Amino acid sequence: MSTTVLRPARPDAEQPEERPARSSSWFLLASVLLLLIGTGGLIHANTSDRGPGAPGTGAPSRTAPVPEPWGEDVLAAAELSGLPPQIVAAQLDVESRWDPRAVSPAGARGLAQFMPRTWARYGRGDPFDPRDAIRAQGRYLKDLRRMVGGLEPATAEEEIDLVLAAYNAGPTAVLRHGGIPPFAETRGYVTRIRELADTTYAGVCACG
């Protein structure tokens, strides 16, 4: 009868590797900690340089959605003309859709769509320069308010409508008709500006 002798496995024989459970736990914990540290640093980097009103802080801009480079110019034009900044912003939207290079079939140019003769009186600089155009818009609106004041509008809202109509159809037409001329284009122009001022540009304000 033969006897089978079991020999111990050699130290270098291939065996399934068994890692202590504690080692796996520490590896997982270290990974989670590194992930948290990295996320915290990313959040800090994205928020530390933001001041009030900066994108992502939840503080709305007082001139949004006016294109950012021209927000303060719109407020200045509103102050000069005595009209609400929402109206001034909405008018520029209707006039040119904020395109500084816009040219109408009639020859009106720039952001505020000035005709050459009107620009020669109220413009300073280049009608295609947005800041020059908005400044001229403020001067022209101020003068139009003075012109239509002779019609003695009953309310501030009526005065605004007369000024807008004069910008579109010319002050002579407004004075001749004693109010908004019966032109479909002019009436639609005033209505569209009013709608945008009450919706899209309702948040534009001169508040601090």
Active site residues: 95
C-alpha 64/C-alpha 69 separation (Å) is 11
Enter the tokens of residue 99.
């395109």
Which residues, 6+ apart, have CB-to-CB distance to 93 below 8 Å? 196, 200, 201
Enter the tokens of residue 34.
């590194």
Q: HEC profile for the chain?
A: CCCCCCCCCCCCCCCCCCCCHHHHHHHHHHHHHHHHHHHHHHHHHHHCCCCCCCCCCCCCCCCCCCCHHHHHHHHHHHHHHCCCHHHHHHHHHHHHCCCCCCECCCCCECCCCECHHHHHHHCCCCCCCHHHHHHHHHHHHHHHHHHHHHHCCCCHHHHHHHHHHHHHHCHHHHHHHCCCCCCHHHHHHHHHHHHHHHCCCCCCCCCC
